[in-house]
Amino acid sequence: MTFTLFLLALFDGISYAALVFIVALGLTLIFGVMRILNVAHGSLYAIGAYATASLTGYALALGFAPIFAFPLMLISAVLVGVLLGGPIEWLLLRRIYHKPEVLQLLVTFAVFMILEDVQRLVWGTQPYFQASALQALGNVTVFGVTYTVYQLILLPVLALVLLLGLRAFLRHTIIGKLILATTEDREAAQAIGIDADKVFLFTFIVGAVLAGLGGALDSPTTSILPGMGADMIVLSFAVIATAGLGQIEGAAVAALMIGLGRSFAVYLWPETAVLVPYLIMVLVLLVRPEGLFGSPVARKI
């Protein structure tokens, strides 16, 4: 492996990790607060990607500059969060918080099945390409390796901003403190007047926006296909399971491990690239069943 290839693998890994982290962040936030694993998270990611590609294509056709792709990403993500995430929590999840974990999983899985077909109905099975945002920012050359600014600088910086922003939001704002209080003890929080229903709805929408944003940011770098949601939910679960469910900072480390592992596998032994994330997860879980940063839960008897 030459130095150039090493750098390429490194850059691939970092940009990929940034994307996966943004999606996993939403998943782990929802789990941390609501104790629900949202299997439909992968679909929200895919729909975010499709929506961005469609909106950008539409804007370009109207004669807007390619730079408009960036606000459209944010708009798509918010639309996904509010129009899909909101109703899912409000109409479905609210009915099942007191039910067994298995039923909660089945319900979000059912939503996932529904949304997979909705995507195919709306956008068909042909792949979509929309790389204008990627091209708009141009390239950068580092140690003789030319790479896109979008993937090498924008994505990692954005991931870092989201990580630090979410941390600060949870710790230093009133709404964030309300969320943390509800996470800690829902009944006690309600007893002091916190509207837990609102907190859950808000958290779920924020998580869904993050899923949509992950998809929106991914859309210029890949062809958008049916089935990408299924891949992403398993991958982002691998990230948050490796980190420990509900661990926000840990998810960043796990995403880097998995992203780098995968991109080096692409250059060294391409057939195994899909397997590496799961191998990393299985190895970590064999040694630490609660994940890298998770702590064993005290059992209720």
Partner 1 sequence: MTVRSTNHAASPARRGFPARQILTALGVGALILVPLLAPHLQLLMNLALAKGLAVLGVTVVLRAGQVSFGHALFFGISAYAGAFLISAWPGADLLVVLIAGVLGAAISGLLVGLFVARYRGIFFGMLNLAFSMIFWSILEKFYHYTGGADGIRLTRPTVLGMELGRVNYELVLFYLAIALMVGLGWFTLRWLASPSGQLFQTLKTNETRLEYLGLSPRRVLLSGYVLSAVLCGVGGSMMGMTQGVVTPEYVWWVRSAEMVFIAVLGGAGSVRGAFVGALVYEIVRIYASAFAADIWQLLLGVFLLVIILFAPGGIMGIVDSLIGHARSARKILK
Residue 18 C-beta: closest distance to partner 1, Å? 22
Residue 231 C-beta: closest distance to partner 1, Å? 8
Q: Is the CB of 96 or the CB of 140 nearer to partner 1?
A: 96
Cα separations in angstroms, 141 against 149, 213, 266: 9, 27, 22
Residues forming contacts to partner 1 in the complex (CB under 8 A) are 37, 92, 95-96, 100-103, 105-107, 109-114, 116-118, 120-121, 230-231, 234, 237-238, 241, 245, 271-272, 274-275, 278, 281-282, 285-286, 289, 299, 301
Helix (H) or strand (E) holding 52: helix 41-61
Residue 244 C-beta: closest distance to partner 1, Å? 11
Query: What residues contact residue 242 under an 8 Å CB cut-off, 6+ apart?
Result: 254, 257, 258, 280, 281, 284, 285, 291, 292
249-282 core/surface letters (b: 16 or more CB in 10 A; e: else): ebbbbbbbbbbbbbbbbbeeeeeebeebbeebbe
Q: Is the CB of 100 or the CB of 138 nearer to partner 1?
A: 100
Residue 233 C-beta: closest distance to partner 1, Å? 9
Residue 274 C-beta: closest distance to partner 1, Å? 4
Query: What angle separates helix 101-123 from helix 228-243, to the nearest 10 degrees?
Result: 150
**How many other C-beta atoms lie within 10 A of the C-beta of residue 98?**
7
Cα separations in angstroms, 219 against 30, 149, 159: 23, 15, 16
Q: Is the CB of 134 or the CB of 280 nearer to partner 1?
A: 280
Query: In this structure, is the dihedral angle defined by the CA atoms of residues 134, 139, 142 and 144, taken in order, positive or negative?
Result: positive
Residue 282 C-beta: closest distance to partner 1, Å? 7
Task: Identify the CA nearest to 73 among candidates 217, 283, 204.
Answer: 217
Q: Is the CB of 105 or the CB of 140 nearer to partner 1?
A: 105
Q: Is the CB of 32 or the CB of 66 nearer to partner 1?
A: 32
Q: Is the CB of 72 or the CB of 245 nearer to partner 1?
A: 245
Q: Which conformational region is residue 128 in: left (phi greater than 0), alpha (psi within -120 to 50 degrees), or beta?
A: beta
Q: Is the CB of 116 or the CB of 156 nearer to partner 1?
A: 116
Residue 278 C-beta: closest distance to partner 1, Å? 5
